[in-house]
Chains A and B, each alone.
Chain A
Amino acid sequence: MHDRDSVETILARLMPPALSMSAQQDIEAMLDKLAGPAAVNQPSSRPWRRRIIGGGLAASLAAALAIPRLMEPAKPAITATTPLPDFLLVGESDRVESTTDEGWSETPDGIAVRAMRVRVIEENSLFDEETGMVMQVSQPREELLLMPISTF
């Protein structure tokens, strides 16, 4: 016990180092990009409306909106400072497109796992109240599921 107290006392004199300056800046830049324009605190008469803010989603929505508005008089392009329109999420689903058995593997701890690579298409239906349009936004993603094997 005396030794353990000594160990804990000495360990308390060790501190994990901070992230390097470049790593810190990279992560903060990534967070800024993910957050997009700063959210504006606008009171809404419809509290159940969901505001969608996201870089990737905004880009795909901007593209989807650009098509029908080609016939309208020219308007200022969407910029990084333009507030995003409100969209109502009316449906969302995850569709498994394919699964691939990647066989057995083992973790660094020696635990046997079975790996399954799953390709999923996330589909969101968004309703724009201003135009009455319903947009379908699809985002593929790949997941690797690791299932511990306990019986043989």
Chain B
Amino acid sequence: MMESPATAWKQWLAENGPRLLLFARGWSQSREDAEDLVQEAILRMWHHQADKGGTPPDLPLVFSTIRFCGLNHHRSVKRRRKREESIIYLNDFQDVWLDPVADDDDYALLLRNAVQSLSSKLREVLIMKFWSDLTFQQIAETLAISPNTAASRYRYAMEKLAHELRRMKEVRHA
């Protein structure tokens, strides 16, 4: 008896779930919303892949889909906020996007905040390059930009993080 196609997708999810969640987090207000985006993207991918053998999709396509779903979600949230001005959105202070390998890694914790504070343009490229191992060509196709632009954004993101790291070290030693 053939294996259920869901098995391959579950294995794919186990391998790629964290990087999908990290990418989706940049397009959402909370971890829960990010997980909803991931689920919505996977649902769309399932139907998209149905006539392509039903195999799990390539990461660049999933990232594009998460962006599309995130954009739609952003528009509806924006409209809702205009209607419901009195709602206060509380930040979840435990809602972090990255976990340090060691709990006492201060520089990693500081750099994590810097990554979260990057502009979405730079952060997207950084996430896809550093934590998803996409090439600049793949990133370019996902974001509809040129590979040179993708490489420039990555370089600029690293420079900004390096600058932030220097600043944090100076503050600490002061």
Q: Does A132 contact B (CB under 8 A)?
A: no
Instruction: Return the CB mask of A1-29 against B: 1 if under 8 Å, else 0.
Output: 00110111011011111111001101110
Contact between B165 and A7, CB atoms less than 8 A apart: yes
- Measured between beta carbons, the chain A residues less than 8 angstroms from B97 are 16-17
Q: Does B140 contact A (CB under 8 A)?
A: no
Q: Does B3 contact A (CB under 8 A)?
A: yes
Q: Does B91 contact A (CB under 8 A)?
A: no
Interface residues in B4-57 (C-beta closer than 8 Å to A):
4-6, 9-10, 13, 17-19, 21-22, 27, 31, 35, 38-39, 42-43, 46, 50
Q: Main secondary structure on chain B at its contact with chain A?
A: helix
- Least Cβ–Cβ distance between B160 and chain A, in angstroms: 9
- Measured between beta carbons, the chain A residues less than 8 angstroms from B27 are 108
Residue among B19, B21, B100, B165 making CB contact with A14, cutoff 8 Å: B100
Contact between A27 and B111, CB atoms less than 8 A apart: no
Instruction: Return the CB mask of A95-115 against B: 1 if under 8 Å, else 0.
Output: 000000000010111000000
Residue among B5, B19, B159 making CB contact with A4, cutoff 8 Å: B159
Contact between B9 and A31, CB atoms less than 8 A apart: yes
Nearest A residue to B131 via CB reads A16
Q: Does B84 contact A (CB under 8 A)?
A: no
Residue among A18, A23, A39 making CB contact with B5, cutoff 8 Å: A39
Q: Does B105 contact A (CB under 8 A)?
A: yes
Q: If the complex has contacts A16-B98, A27-B42, A30-B42, are A35 and B120 also in contact, measured as CB distance less than 8 A? A: no
Contact between B21 and A17, CB atoms less than 8 A apart: yes
Q: Does A146 contact B (CB under 8 A)?
A: yes
Our count of residue pairs bridging A and B at CB distance below 8 angstroms stands at 126
Interface residues on B, range: 35 or more
Contact between B71 and A10, CB atoms less than 8 A apart: no
- Measured between beta carbons, the chain B residues less than 8 angstroms from A11 are 108, 111, 115, 130, 161
Nearest B residue to A20 via CB reads B35
Complexed CA–CA distance, A27 and B100 (Å): 26
Q: If the complex has contacts A7-B162, A20-B35, A31-B6, are A108 and B111 also in contact, measured as CB distance less than 8 A? A: no
Complexed CA–CA distance, A14 and B6 (Å): 30
Q: If the complex has contacts A10-B107, A20-B35, A40-B2, are A15 and B42 also in contact, measured as CB distance less than 8 A? A: no
Q: Does B1 contact A (CB under 8 A)?
A: yes
- Least Cβ–Cβ distance between B63 and chain A, in angstroms: 13
- Measured between beta carbons, the chain B residues less than 8 angstroms from A54 are 50
- Measured between beta carbons, the chain A residues less than 8 angstroms from B10 are 28, 31
Which B residues fall within an 8 A CB radius of A? 1-6, 9-10, 13, 17-19, 21-22, 27, 31, 35, 38-39, 42-43, 46, 50, 68, 71-72, 74-75, 96-102, 105, 107-108, 111-112, 115, 120-121, 130-131, 144, 158-159, 161-163, 165-166
Which A residues fall within an 8 A CB radius of B? 3-4, 6-8, 10-11, 13-20, 23-24, 26-28, 30-32, 34-35, 38-41, 54, 105, 107-109, 144, 146, 148
The 4 closest A-B pairs by CB, nearest first: A16-B22, A3-B162, A35-B6, A23-B35
